Amino acid sequence: MTELVRCSDARDAAGFVAREIAGAVRADPCLVLGLATGETMRPVYAALAEDRLHHGTSWRSVTVFNLDDYIGLPSTHPASFRRFMQQTLFDHLDIDPARCFIPDGSAEDLDREAEAYEDAIVAAGGLDLQLLGIGRNGHIAFNEPGAAFDSRTRVVELAPATRDAARASFDAPDRVPSRGLTMGIGTILAARRLLLLATGPDKADAVADALRPPPSTDRPASALQLHPDARIVADQAAATGVPLPRG
Ligand code: GLP
């Protein structure tokens, strides 16, 4: 069963997630952590940077694997997830750059890059904790509706809704890449713990769909129901579609 953690607002929800992550890093300095991008994650990463500054949590031996990136963007492009991670998080931590993995969407041989990414996760001992966001259409990472629950890191086509949501990060709408390189749902489900953060009214339908049984590939985030330790952390606005428990 997926547990829903209801928070009063987006700040509270991000704070909850940041405390979970910082706690996991302190409990296991060699944590293997899966990370996500998106506007939702900015306050989480800001809180982790604060934690580093004020509490000195060390990330020196932590290994991180990001979920995905666009295909065909150089890593220096302002909209690349590599750059997002560098600016919002990595630059503020004492993390070892050699331990920061992000699928390389500019690789010449993308299938090989996908396979190497899966191998690197296994070589690191598997993901201990995977952070997730959610798309308005219920996607997780770049796994769009229809993605198989046993899918692995691979090249995918982005849904029109996903490209639409990404428009603001590109100087012209037609510049939004049409493909991504993403961990699969099977890769995500293999992580020992899952933590999905959803904030704002735009995510309410996707959160309700994720929690509604039975899991269905039409609703990628509903795959979390198959995981023994998955939580969805949502603010009030994102949780409006989920009935409150009785009693
Ligand atoms: C992209 C990422 C997802 C992320 C989603 C939501 O599609 N690939 O991993 O969950 O954006 O982003 P936002 O937080 O900006 O709504």
- For residue 234, the model assigns a pLDDT of 98
From 69, 66, 60, select the one nearest 31 (Cα to Cα): 60
Q: What single string gives the DSSP state of each residue in 100-119?
A: EE---TT-SSHHHHHHHHHH
Q: Give the integer Cα–Cα distance in Å for 125 and 164.
A: 36
Is the minimum distance from the CB of 198 to ligand 1 under 6 angstroms? no
- For residue 172, the model assigns a pLDDT of 78
pLDDT tens track, the chain, 247 positions: 799 999 999 999 999 999 999 999 999 999 999 999 999 999 999 999 999 999 999 999 999 999 999 999 988 898 999 999 999 999 999 999 999 999 999 999 999 999 999 999 999 999 999 999 999 999 999 999 999 999 999 999 999 999 999 998 888 767 899 999 999 999 999 999 999 999 999 999 999 999 999 999 999 999 999 999 999 999 999 999 998 888 7
Under a CB-based contact definition with an 8 Å cutoff, are residues 226 and 178 in contact?
no
Is the minimum distance from the CB of 215 to ligand 1 under 6 angstroms? no
Q: Is 125 helix (H, G, I), strand (E, B) or coil?
A: coil
Active site residues: 68, 137, 139, 144
Under a CB-based contact definition with an 8 Å cutoff, are residues 213 and 177 in contact?
no
- For residue 246, the model assigns a pLDDT of 81
> Cα–Cα distances in Å, from 15 out to 3, 7, 190?
18, 10, 25
Residue 140 CA, ligand 1 centroid: distance in Å: 8
Locate the ligand 1 atom nearest the alpha carbon of residue 200 and give its number: 16
b/e per residue, 217-240, with b = 16+ CB within 10 A?
A: eebbbbbbbebeebbbbbbbbbbe
What is the DSSP secondary structure assignment for residue 244, as one 8-state letter? P
- For residue 157, the model assigns a pLDDT of 98
Q: Give the integer Cα–Cα distance in Å for 160 and 70.
A: 14
Beta strands 154-157 and 179-182, pairing class: antiparallel
- Taking the CB of residue 194, how many other CB atoms lie within 10 A of it? 23
CA distance between the termini of the chain = 20
Q: Give the integer Cα–Cα distance in Å for 227 and 52.
A: 30
Is the minimum distance from the CB of 65 to ligand 1 under 6 angstroms? no
Please choose from 134, 140, 178, 199 the residue to mutate so as to test ligand 1's pocket, defined by most ligand atoms within 8 A of CB: 134
Is the minimum distance from the CB of 69 to ligand 1 under 6 angstroms? no
Token pair belonging to 172: 């012209």
Locate the ligand 1 atom nearest the alpha carbon of residue 39 and give its number: 15
Q: Give the integer Cα–Cα distance in Å for 120 and 101.
A: 9
